[in-house]
Each structure stands twice: as C-alpha cells, then as structure tokens.
C-alpha cells in the first residue's frame, strides 16, 4: 500500500513515521508513506497558500491552486483514493479502516486555517472526520487514519493477527485484560483466568465483552443484538 500525505507541516510526521509498529511496517516495505509539503507548489513570491475569504469574515481560506498542483504531481494520482480530512466529513470508524486497508494507493490532504476553498472538495473522493471536535490542522487526523489502517495490513502487527480481537470487531468492545501480579492492593484477577480452562476463559471473555459494550456503548450493543438476536 502507498499513502501520500499533503501537509503544510511535514516535520510533524517525523517521529510518527519512524517509531514503533508503523516505523517497522515502513522498514519492512509493507507500506510506503510519502509526505509532501504543498506550500512548495505555491506560485506566489512568499509561498502563500491561503487568502482572505470572498464575502469577508474571520480567518483565512486554503487556496485551491497549490493543492491542485501538489495533487497532480503525485504519480498515479488518477487511480488513488483521495481523502480530505475535515470535521465536516463522515466520522471515521473501524469498518472504514478495514475498507481503506484494501486500497492500493491513498492520498490524504491535511487542511489548516478557517477552511478549504470549496473547489478543493471537488478534487477529493471522500471527506473524513475523526470526531466531533475541531483540531488546528489535519495532521493529527491523517496520523489517526494512517495508524489505524496500517496496523490492519497483514504481517504488520504479528503472526497471530491480534487486531482480529480488538474492539469494534463484530460491534463489540474488547474484554478486560489482566497480567501479573495476580493480586494488587487487595484486587484479585478473576479466578477463571488462572483456571487454565480455555473453554471457560473464552466464555468469560465473550460475556465480559458483551457486558462492557452494553454499559459503555449502547449504540454498538444494539447493532450487535440486531446481528445476533438474543442468543
């Protein structure tokens, strides 16, 4: 998979791309990520990429031309899925991460300023938000997308593909976890987890997962029930 990111703040990606699972995925050629500073495509003397809004009002607007030129400079862009990150987009979720994991080439535009010139929107296939809050720029949103998509690529995490058991698969949140010590300040690990009985452990985990989802995310729990009935 290849991901191109259009940003005004390329340095924000330095640590993100070199550390941990993502760093290893890049080293192992499981994903190729290129960061492009679209300021370099500005034709103005001072490399300006924003301007005041027609009709007046506060804040600056991101210009369409440098974004268009940066986009056109990307090899194979015509076939890539082009994503604009914006609080006005559809909220991102795990199912979408799986869908995007199967794309060969993705381009993500990180915005800045008050807003996009509306004609930028026409250049993109998809508008994605990472939640109902407003960030200063799109870089953190792009990183959230890249991280969640990349960890789903086969061989990125590890042989046993532990993401299959993560939260949101089959609409459920993951069950609780415990590790040593077996008792901490009077709080004990549930007996079943140290029983060695794999059937009972599996049942306990499934029940806890359902219980936790019902308590914390009734919306997901209702979807799970729709899918599975009252088994």
Residue 20: both structure tokens together: 């941990």
Q: To the nearest whole angstrom, how small is the minimum distance from the Cβ of residue 22 to ligand SAM?
A: 19
Residue 200: both structure tokens together: 């009972």
Q: To the nearest whole angstrom, how small is the minimum distance from the Cβ of residue 6 to ligand SAM?
A: 10
Residues numbered 135-194 forming contacts with ligand SAM, rule: CB under 6 A: 135-138, 141
Asked if residue 221 lies in contact with residue 171, where contact means CB atoms within 8 angstroms, the answer is yes
Determine the size of the site formed for ligand SAM (CB under 6 A). 19
From the number of C-beta atoms within 10 Å of its C-beta (0-12, 13-18, 19+), residue 60 rates as middle
What is the rounded distance in angstroms from the CA atom of residue 2 to the CA atom of residue 107? 8
Q: Tell me: does residue 86 bind ligand SAM (CB under 6 A).
A: yes
Residues numbered 21-60 forming contacts with ligand SAM, rule: CB under 6 A: none
Examine the residue annotation and report whether 99 is marked as an active-site residue of this protein. Answer: no
The dihedral built from the CA positions of residue 83, 99, 137 and 47, taken in this order, carries a sign that is: negative
Q: What share of the chain is helix, strand, coil (3-state, %, to 5)?
A: 40, 20, 40
Residues numbered 91-120 forming contacts with ligand SAM, rule: CB under 6 A: 110-112, 114-115
Q: To the nearest whole angstrom, how small is the minimum distance from the Cβ of residue 96 to ligand SAM?
A: 13
Q: Which of 2, 39, 65, 87 is catalytic?
A: 87
Q: To the nearest whole angstrom, how small is the minimum distance from the Cβ of residue 188 to ligand SAM?
A: 41
Interacting residue with ligand SAM among 85, 146, 156, 210 (CB under 6 A): 85
Q: Which of 69, 114, 127, 174 is catalytic?
A: 114
Helix, strand, or coil (residue 115): strand
Q: Is the peptide bond before 151 cis (omega within 30 degrees of 0)?
A: no
| Nearest residue (beta carbon) to ligand SAM | 111
Q: Judged by CB, which is closer to ligand SAM: 145, or 210?
A: 145
Residue 76: both structure tokens together: 């194979």
DSSP state of 9: -
Examine the residue annotation and report whether 151 is marked as an active-site residue of this protein. Answer: yes
What residues make contact with ligand SAM under the rule CB under 6 A?
85-88, 110-112, 114-115, 129-131, 133-138, 141
Catalytic residues: 87, 114, 151, 166
């Amino acid at each position: 998979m290849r991901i191109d990111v259009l940003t005004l703040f390329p340095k924000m990606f330095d640590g993100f791309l070199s550390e941990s699972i993502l760093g290893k995925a890049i080293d192992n050629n499981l994903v190729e990520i290129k960061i492009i500073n679209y300021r370099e495509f500005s034709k103005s003397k001072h490399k300006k990429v924003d301007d005041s809004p027609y009709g007046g009002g506060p804040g600056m607007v991101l210009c369409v031309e440098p974004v268009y030129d940066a986009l056109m400079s990307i090899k194979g862009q015509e076939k890539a899925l082009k994503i604009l990150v914006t609080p006005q987009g559809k909220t991102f979720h795990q199912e979408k991460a799986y869908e995007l994991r199967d794309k060969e080439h993705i381009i993500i535009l990180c915005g800045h300023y008050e807003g996009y010139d509306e004609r930028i929107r026409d250049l993109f296939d998809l508008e994605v938000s990472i939640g109902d809050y407003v960030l200063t720029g799109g870089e953190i949103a792009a990183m959230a997308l890249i991280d969640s998509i990349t960890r789903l690529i086969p061989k990125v995490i590890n042989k046993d593909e532990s993401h299959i058991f993560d939260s949101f698969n089959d609409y459920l949140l993951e069950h609780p976890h415990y590790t040593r010590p077996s008792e901490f300040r009077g709080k004990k690990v549930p007996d079943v987890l140290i029983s060695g009985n794999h059937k009972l452990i599996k049942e306990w985990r499934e029940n806890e997962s359902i219980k936790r989802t019902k308590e914390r995310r009734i919306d997901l729990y209702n979807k799970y029930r729709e899918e599975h009935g009252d088994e």
